[in-house]
A = this chain, B = another copy of it.
Amino acid sequence: MKRNVIVGQSGGPTAAINSSLAGVYRTAKDRGANKVYGMLHGIQGLLQERYLDLSEYITTELDAELLKRTPAAFLGSCRYKLPEIHEDKAVYEKIFSILDKLDIEAFIYIGGNDSMDTIKKLSDYAIVTGHPTRFIGCPKTIDNDLALTDHTPGYGSAAKYIGTSVKEIIRDSFCLEYSKGLVSIVEIMGRNAGWLTGAAALAKGEDCEGPDLIYLPEISFDLHVFSDKVKELLSKKPSVVVAVSEGIRTADGTYVCELGSSIDFVDAFGHKQLSGTASYLASFIAGEIGCKTRAIELSSLQRSASHAASRVDILEAYQVGGAAVKAADEGDSGKMVVLQRLSDDPYQCGTEVKDVHKIANDEKLVPREWVNEEGTGVTDEFVAYVRPLIQGDVSPVMVDGIPRHLFRPYNL
């Protein structure tokens, strides 16, 4: 590389997205890039000419290690959808004039489905206008719903946190006895794809039965069948633990969380904002069965708990960042780096690049055959798929009892 690289982060926070950023920075520098800029708050910030020079923040090897262990997006993120090129050319002209001003050779965007849409549009515009900047996407999402890649960086750490926390909740739930039993409902992220919710099954092992019921958003949910199932389980054991996706819907497509509340907020991509599924189900079961219930939302901790990150995930996120820079340096554009699993046992995984047009806006769901027939749990194949992704730990750099992160002032 001879000129400059710019990198941005987009979409929801994860525990691994900054490891990809560290990988982009290291490989760009190793390959001779002059400057490595970071967009502040992704393409939305770039449009306001907000960016920084990463070498001012990553000054030592220790800084790079801290960055890998810092959750959320170090550069800030956005949920900004670029208009179609024919709808608003001015936006594209503005972005490319900024790229020209910064002498950008490669544009790396770390994100999920919506971010790959950005890479697709920018690379299309570059082709149409004959612009030399190369655009490469770097996958990131705890949701694991990107097509063509075996899995996405960020998913393994979230899955490890969910498996660990659900196991601790199960231990907690057997502590006190209630005359009619206790039902704990754990709400897990994942609007349409059940990859995260299915990871609750990781709690199961020689020392733990795992959650009793797991409901993914791919399978339609029936309140009364659910209630009967819980009743049956309570006749056999004093505590029942249920993992539910925030996005479970009844047969007519109504979100379970909408049954009880009137929250109906829609974000810029047309996604409904969900919450309250576990609360609703806890009240419903308490009413139906009269047992003690509790609702637990794993909430933002499942995406930002870098203190419990997976080593495989953090290392793969780093590799994927490096591979994105390498692809751009070798002339690729309009591509996303994907992870390709070479072997399950022993687990081996490499990177490739694929055409971003085949990826953008396409959600990868949990295959039906990885869910049991009743739709109340995941199969051994599901667990065999996710198990390698949660292996190993990343020791936090503990300072005075609390993990240290890499710091950037927010008011840039």
Are A72 and B407 neighbours in the complex by a CB distance under 8 Å?
no
Residues in B with CB closer than 8 Å to A202 are: 401-402
Q: How far in angstroms is the closest Cβ of chain B from A178?
A: 10
Most B CB contacts (10 A, CB to CB) among A207, A303, A407 go to A207
Q: Which of A81-116 contact B (CB under 8 A)?
A: none
Query: What's the Cα separation between A206 and B78 when bound, in Å?
Result: 26
Are A79 and B176 neighbours in the complex by a CB distance under 8 Å?
yes
The interface-forming segment of A226-234, A291-299, A370-378 is: A291-299
* Binary B-proximity of A59-80 (CB < 8 A = 1, otherwise 0): 0000000000011110011110
Residues in B with CB closer than 8 Å to A252 are: none
Are A390 and B407 neighbours in the complex by a CB distance under 8 Å?
no
Known: A169-B301, A299-B296. A404 touches B207 (CB 8 A): yes
Q: How far in angstroms is the closest Cβ of chain B from A147?
A: 24
Are A303 and B406 neighbours in the complex by a CB distance under 8 Å?
no
Are A300 and B164 neighbours in the complex by a CB distance under 8 Å?
no
Are A407 and B304 neighbours in the complex by a CB distance under 8 Å?
no
Q: Is A121 an interface residue (CB 8 A)?
A: no
Q: Is A130 an interface residue (CB 8 A)?
A: no
Q: Is A208 an interface residue (CB 8 A)?
A: yes
Known: A76-B174, A169-B300, A171-B72. A208 touches B403 (CB 8 A): no
Are B78 and A401 neighbours in the complex by a CB distance under 8 Å?
no
Are A171 and B205 neighbours in the complex by a CB distance under 8 Å?
no
Known: A167-B402, A393-B398. A410 touches B300 (CB 8 A): no
Are B402 and A203 neighbours in the complex by a CB distance under 8 Å?
yes
Most B CB contacts (10 A, CB to CB) among A77, A306, A400 go to A400
Query: What's the Cα separation between A208 and B71 when bound, in Å?
Result: 13
Residues in B with CB closer than 8 Å to A177 are: 41, 44, 76, 78
Residues in B with CB closer than 8 Å to A169 are: 300-301, 304
A184 to B, closest residue via Cβ: B300
Q: How far in angstroms is the closest Cβ of chain B from A288?
A: 17
Contact of A402 among B301, B390, B403, B411 (CB under 8 A): B390
Q: How far in angstroms is the closest Cβ of chain B from A213?
A: 17
Instruction: Supply 9 further A-B pairs (C-beta < 8 A) apart from A205-B404, A297-B297.
Output: A44-B177, A78-B177, A168-B301, A205-B400, A205-B402, A207-B405, A238-B410, A239-B410, A391-B400
Please list the residues of chain A having a beta carbon within 8 angstroms of any beta carbon in chain B. 12-13, 41, 44, 70-73, 76-79, 160, 163-165, 167-169, 171-172, 174-177, 202-203, 205-208, 237-239, 294, 296-297, 299-301, 303-308, 310, 387, 390-393, 398-407, 410-411
